[in-house]
Amino acid sequence: MEKAIPLDKFIEHSLYDKKRGYYINKNPIGENGDFITSPQISVHFSEMIAIWLVGFWEKLGKPKNLNIIELGAGTGEMMYQINKSISNFKQFKQSCNFYILEISPELIKIQKKRNSLNKIKWIDNLNEIKKNPSIFLANEFFDSLPVKHFIRENNEWFEKYITKKKNKYFFKNKKKKLAQIEKILGEKIKKNQNFIEVSPKSIAKISKISSIVKKNNGGILIIDYGYLGKKMSDTIQCVKNHKKVDFLNNIYESDITHLLNFNFYLKKFRKNLDKVKITTQGEFLTNMGIFERAEVISKSLSFSKKSDLYYRLQRLVDDKQMGKLFKVMFATNKKNKFIMGFND
């Protein structure tokens, strides 16, 4: 890297470069990787998603053809458990066309191995899905899409760039016109907003998914870490071996993510879809009946296995762990009277 490049391009290069990219050549997920996601913590997480999907399908009028698209499926564990959970709902399973949107060749191999008995189509473009009602699942997908940073100083706007000197990377700010930033955001910047963190790729995905749902019916369920404040914050975090590290010194070797500003996502989805619900992961899983499910299963378990089961559930729902930091957002058309998992 000889010249300065925008922050989002640096992140994209580090994560997705075809030769050295972090996500391209390794499996970073799991106890032996750099981070772990909810489907690896407990199978009951995916079971709740499966129940939610069946409930939504019923409210949609039980269409004979339904697309279920998982965005960035990680190890393929959630898709595997969903297919396993719906085996008793034969009419629903027969109606489903399963897709996984994935760009990592290494993760695709792992996903295909895990789901060898399931009928799934892997795609790298949403234009490949059939024109049916479509339900999109995004568990820790949007947080991995590269972000731009814009900073206001002395009433002037700057964009954060990365430059390299003597094999070391440094931040560098370059002037940016307000109109250019507002064009990327798709909205006017308020006077009290002095910092912007935004992912152009996320905006493009939201727009594409919203138009598909508006046209063909369906919805999207997003599960990710984030916040609801109206003011944006610098939330970039870099993880390696389950510990936070400096991403400038760990290029190609660490996961670079950010917290979603769900208030911003709310506004973007409402441009095309007129029904958007949001709650915490803890409330969603509790409302879905995850503890009732655990109670039934735990009756036949030994004390140690029962303790492990509830330890894992607490990790998912406890406010001090993943329960509050992780949010669940559902966007659909107003005509769909479906609110399972959400408080009315």
Nearest to 97 by CA among 65, 73, 71: 65
pLDDT at 32: 64
pLDDT at 31: 66
Q: Could you tell me the mean pLDDT of each successive run of 10 residues in the chain, 344 residues long? A: 85 88 74 75 94 97 97 95 95 97 92 92 95 97 96 95 88 95 93 94 97 96 94 90 79 87 95 94 97 86 86 93 96 92 88
For the chain, give the longest Cα–Cα distance.
Answer: 65
Which tokens go with 231? 């003011």
What is the CATH architecture of 5-144+201-332?
3-Layer(aba) Sandwich (3.40)
Give the whole-angstrom CA distance, residue 333 versus residue 272. 9
Please state, in angstroms and as integers, the Cα–Cα distance from residue 98 to each residue in 91, 101, 158, following that order: 15, 10, 43
Give the whole-angstrom CA distance, residue 65 versus residue 323. 34
pLDDT at 139: 97
Crossing angle of helices 200-216 and 178-185, in 10° steps, is 40
Q: Which residue has the tokens 């009928």?
A: 119
Nearest to 219 by CA among 228, 200, 202, 206: 206
Which tokens go with 109? 């191999």
Give the whole-angstrom CA distance, residue 42 versus residue 39. 6
Q: What is the pTM of this model?
A: 0.93
Q: Which residue has the tokens 């799934």?
A: 120
Number of other residues whose CB lies within 10 A of the CB of residue 218: 26
Contact call for residues 191 and 157 (beta carbons, < 8 A): no
φ/ψ of 276, rounded to 5, equals: -130, 125
Give the whole-angstrom CA distance, residue 343 versus residue 101. 30
SS3 category, 141: coil
pLDDT at 2: 58
Sequence ranges of the domains in the chain: 5-144+201-332
